[in-house]
Amino acid sequence: MARIRQQRAEITREAILNGAAVAFDAAGFGGTSLSEVVRNAGVTKGALYFHFPSKEALARTLIEEQFQVSSDVPALKSPGLQTVIDLSHRMASGLRDNVRVRAAIRLVIEFGSFTDPDPSPYNTWIETCRTCLTPAQARGDVKPSLDVDDVATFLVGSFTGIQVTSHVRTHREDLHARITDLWDFLLPGIVPAGRVPRFVPAGSPECRAELGLAPAA
């Protein structure tokens, strides 16, 4: 019985997160009420409060969802520059196809902008990029004159701006193309000239197959 109750509780929690993601993605944090979340999720307010004590707690949980995209990085034996390129396309795919990722990123932008900004999600992504770029530089794939902290910070800021612009202009239909442009322009500036052909700005064949994208030209 305890196992069944636990399974039901997890199903309810997932339904609440899905319902909240739809609401936050559509209206943002300020424009979403818990009544809308309950209606979307098909649960009672009591069930919602059992799992999440407040709207902010619910939002914070969703914000953490984005980091599932990079959850396998710590287990990689040789993370590098192509890892970061592929991560950027995985995040682009999540923004296009996964409402929970979209809600998480909208919440990050809202919470990290003007009123009592929270830099922690940006810092987490910067640290993930740094974790990959540091060994890449040691292998000679990143110019030794560059500070990998600066490169990682630039990448996270650039991706944020590109995805927002893509959302406004095309509802992110062109996001993979714009991320490919980012890497096309950036790689010659951060990679020694002879090593640039080693990297695929549009994402590695394995990454593109995983995401259901056509092979890169």
Are 21 and 106 in contact by the 8 Å Cβ rule? The answer is no
Q: How far apart are CA 178 and CA 161, in angstroms?
A: 11
Are 202 and 208 in contact by the 8 Å Cβ rule? The answer is yes
Q: How far apart are CA 98 and CA 198, in angstroms?
A: 30
What does each of the 217 residues of the chain score in pLDDT, given as a tens digit? 677 778 888 999 999 999 999 999 999 999 999 999 999 999 999 999 999 999 999 999 999 988 888 988 888 888 999 999 999 999 999 999 999 999 999 998 887 665 667 889 999 999 999 999 999 999 999 999 999 999 999 999 999 999 999 999 999 999 999 999 999 999 999 999 999 999 999 999 999 999 999 998 7
Closest CA to 85 of 173, 183, 188: 183
pTM for the whole thing? 0.90
If you count them, how many residues does the chain have? 217
Q: How far apart are CA 101 and CA 105, in angstroms?
A: 6
Query: Cα separations (Å) of 71 from 30, 79, 123, 130, 132?
Result: 29, 13, 16, 15, 13
Q: How far apart are CA 132 and CA 73, in angstroms?
A: 8
Closest CA to 163 of 74, 90, 215: 90
Are 125 and 80 in contact by the 8 Å Cβ rule? The answer is no
CB atoms within 10 A of CB 42: 12
